[in-house]
Chain A
C-alpha cells in the first residue's frame, strides 16, 4: 500500500492545476478579445487607443503569466536545492547579509511598535477599567500578527529589493552568464543560497522583533502601571498557545521563502538594459508584499482550523 504520491505524480498534479488556470486565463483573454472586437465595431473612439477592457484583460493575463513563471521558478528551486554541491559557505554568508542588512531598521521598528501599540491601546481599556489586560492584549497582537508581518514587510523592502537589484545587475552585465561558462551553476550559487538564507533568517528576525516589541510594551506599561517584570511576562504569555507560536513561525518561514524567491525571480529574469535593474528591484518589493498579505490571510485561516 502506498501512502504518499510520488514526485512525478505531484508534478503531474501541479501541472494539471496550472493547465486549468492556464485554460481559464486563455478563456479570459478570449472573452476579452471577442468583447474588444464587439466594442470596436460600436466604439467611436479612434482605434489607436487600446480599449480599457483590453488593457484590463492584458493586466489579468499578465498576472497569471507571471504566477505561472514564478511557479516554474519555484519548481526549479526545489529540483536543484537538494542536489549537491550545497554551497554551505555561501548560504552562511547570505544569512549574515540578510540579517545584517535589516537589523537596525527592524530593531527600531519593533521597539517603536511595542511602545506605540501599548500607548494607543491604553485609553480604550481604561474606559472599561481593564488596564490589567494590557500585557495580554499587547502580546497577542505582537506575537500573532504584528511581528511576522512587520518583519516581512521590512525585509521585503530591504532584503527583497537588494536581492532583485543585485541579481538584476548581474544578469544585465552578463555576470550570470560568465558564472555559467566558468563552471559554476548560477541558479544554485545565486538563487538557492539566497532563498535558503531568507527562509532561515526571517523567522529568526521575526522572533527578535516579537521580543523587542514586547520589551517596548513592557517599558511603557512599567512606567504607567508600575507592573513588575515577572507579572508582565506571566500575563503576556498566558494567552499564547503553542499553536499560535507555531503558526507565527510558519508564517515567517513562508514570508521568508516568498521574499527570497520573488527577489531572485525578478533579478534572475530581469530584462537587458539598465532600467531592467530598477524594474527588478521594484518588482521584487511590490510582488513580495502583495504575496505576503495574501499568505497572511490564508495562514490565519488554516491556523484557525487547528484551534
Chain B
C-alpha cells in the first residue's frame, strides 16, 4: 500500500498560481493563493467544507474567472489567452467531478466515447474502441461497458468519471473529492487508481480531499487551505506537525484511536 516513489521534475512547473483571489458577492473565498504544481507530482489540497477547494480547481480549468492574480497552466496565462486557446488547453486538463457528472442519458461506452468523438476529428471506429477498452481496463470496470450510469454504484461512477477524463490523455488531472462518500475499501481502490494513473499516464495531479488516508496514500505534497490561503504546504508529516487548532482536528478525527 506504500506509495511508489514518484518521478517529479522540480524544475518544471505545470501550474503556477500567484496572488489568486476570488469572491462571490460579499464572500471573499480565495484571498491570495500561491501554488506550484510540479511535473509528475500529486499535490493534495486539504481544507474544510466551503473553503473554496472546488472553486480553486474550477479556476484552474477555466470554468470560473479570477478577480485578481495569475494562473499559469502548461505555459498559458489563463487571464490572457483567447477562447480558442482555452478550449485546446482544456482538453489537456482532466477534471474528475465531485459527483462524477456522468452523462446519464448515455451508456458507459457512449460516455467514454463522447470526448474522443468530439475532439479527435477523423478518428476511426477501431481507434475509439481501443481507447475505450484501454481506459476501462485501467479503472478495472470492463464489464460495465453497456450499462447506464444509473445502474452503477457510487464508486463505479467515480471510476468511470476518471476513465472519461483519462481517455483524452490529459497532462494534468484535477480530482475533486475522489473518495467522498465511499466505503474504506473502495477508497483504497480509488487511491491506488490515482497513483496508478500518475505512474501509467505520467500526469501531474491536484487531489482535493477531506480524507487524510487518501492524502497520505496519494500525496507527494500536501497543502492546507485555511482562510482563503495556503498556510501550510509540505510533506504530510510537516503539515500536521503543529498545534494549530484549525489543523489538528483533521488529524485527530482521522487517526486518534
Contacts and interface: CB of A to CB of B under 8 A. Distances in A.
A19 interface: no
Contacts of B88: 183
B99 interface: yes
Nearest to B98: A174
A128 to B, nearest CB: 56
B91 A183 contact: yes
B122 to A, nearest CB: 14
B97 A178 contact: yes
Given A181-B61, A183-B87, A183-B91, A173 B118 contact: no
Interface in B117-146: 118-119
A9 to B, nearest CB: 24
A263 B165 CA distance: 29
B101 A173 contact: yes
Contacts of B58: 177
Contacts of A169: 104
B63 interface: yes
Interface in A167-182: 169-170, 173-175, 177-182
A15 B165 CA distance: 40
Contacts of B105: 166
Given A175-B102, A175-B103, A175-B104, A182 B115 contact: yes
B90 A177 contact: no
Contacts, number: 55
A179 B102 CA distance: 10
B93 interface: yes
B194 to A, nearest CB: 18
Given A182-B165, A183-B118, A174 B93 contact: no
A184 interface: yes
Contact of B63 (A170, A181, A183): A181
B4 to A, nearest CB: 29
Nearest to A177: B63
A185 B91 CA distance: 12
Contacts of B61: 181
B114 interface: yes
B159 interface: no
Contacts of A183: 87-88, 90-91, 115, 118-119, 168
B175 interface: no
B230 interface: no
B158 interface: no
Contact of A180 (B63, B99, B168): B63
A249 B87 CA distance: 39
A182 B90 contact: yes
Contacts of B102: 175
B99 A173 contact: yes
A182 B97 contact: no
Contact of A182 (B62, B98, B104, B114): B114
A110 B58 CA distance: 49
Given A183-B90, A183-B91, A178 B101 contact: yes
Contacts of A179: 103
Nearest to B115: A182
A184 B118 contact: yes
Per CB-CB distance, the 3 closest pairs between chain A and chain B, nearest first, are: A178-B101, A174-B101, A182-B115
30 contacts: A173-B99, A173-B104, A174-B97, A174-B98, A174-B101, A175-B101, A175-B102, A175-B103, A175-B104, A177-B58, A177-B63, A178-B95, A178-B97, A178-B101, A178-B164, A180-B63, A181-B61, A181-B93, A181-B95, A182-B90, A182-B91, A182-B95, A182-B115, A182-B118, A182-B164, A183-B87, A183-B118, A184-B114, A184-B118, A184-B119
